[in-house]
Amino acid sequence: MAYHVNAVISRSSILAYAALVLLALHQPAVAQEEATGPLAGYLDDRSSPEALIRSYYNAVNRQEYARAYSYYSEEGREPDFDKYAKGYQNTKSVEIKLGKAQPDGAAGSIYWSLPIAVKSVSTDGKDTVFTGCYTLRLANPANQAVPPFHPMSIMTGSLTPSEKSLEESVPEQCETP
């Protein structure tokens, strides 16, 4: 008889646990909730080359130039932050289309070439489309044993004006880094 009671308790415990798991699965995770206020539309993600470039242009669209500047590696960015920020003083907004990132491994790092097209709208309302490529780098995280940690960053970016539409301006591929 005691065995039967233990079996019932075990089944009850399992059912209760399963119910809690199902309930938890139907609750929205905090990270998935829509941000409001000053964080509405904020994107800061370095988990892939595409995510990093989306985050970069998100910062540009939000006129958060210090954040945008931080996505560049120290070697790859304009040394003068004020000069960098002034380069965007007439930019009202940007829209991007990305191609497929092409990886290339090197001693202790991974590099990617990422084709991109950018549509820039100036403060006077003029649209300009650019075509080009970004080179991004991530030092192998397993090899970064002491601070500071160096996340994925932009090494170089090259954009030139395009006469084509945004969608048609994305290069098929870029040179391997």
pTM: 0.77
138 domain-assigned: yes
Instruction: Decide if 31 is inside a domain.
Output: no
Interval 53-65: pLDDT, tens: 999 999 999 999 9
Residue 128: CB atoms within 10 A of its CB come to 14
Does residue 163 or residue 30 have the better pLDDT? 163
Name, in order, each residue with C-beta under 8 angstroms of 116's C-beta and a sequence gap of 6 or more: 53, 96, 97, 98, 99, 131, 132, 133, 134, 159, 170, 171
Q: Kindly state whether residue 51 falls inside one of the protein's structural domains.
A: yes
Domain that holds residue 144: 42-169
CA distances from 10 to 3, 16, 20 (A): 10, 10, 15
| Residue 96 to residue 129: CA distance in whole angstroms | 9
Assign 55 to helix, strand or coil.
Answer: helix
Q: What is the CATH number of the domain that holds 73?
A: 3.10.450.50
Is the residue at 13 inside a domain?
no
CA pair distance 139, 87, nearest whole angstrom: 29
The number of distinct structural domains making up the chain is: 1
Residue 15, pLDDT above cutoff 80:
no
Pairing of strands 109-122, 102-106: antiparallel
- Tell me the CA distances in angstroms from 72 to 25, 35, 38, 90, 151, one per residue in order: 38, 26, 24, 21, 10
| 158 bridge partner residues | 133
Digit-coded pLDDT (tens) for 90-132: 999 999 999 999 999 878 899 999 999 999 999 999 999 999 9
Strand 91-98 relative to strand 102-106, pairing: unpaired
Tell me how far apart the alpha carbons of residues 132 and 158 are, in angstroms, rounded to a whole number: 5
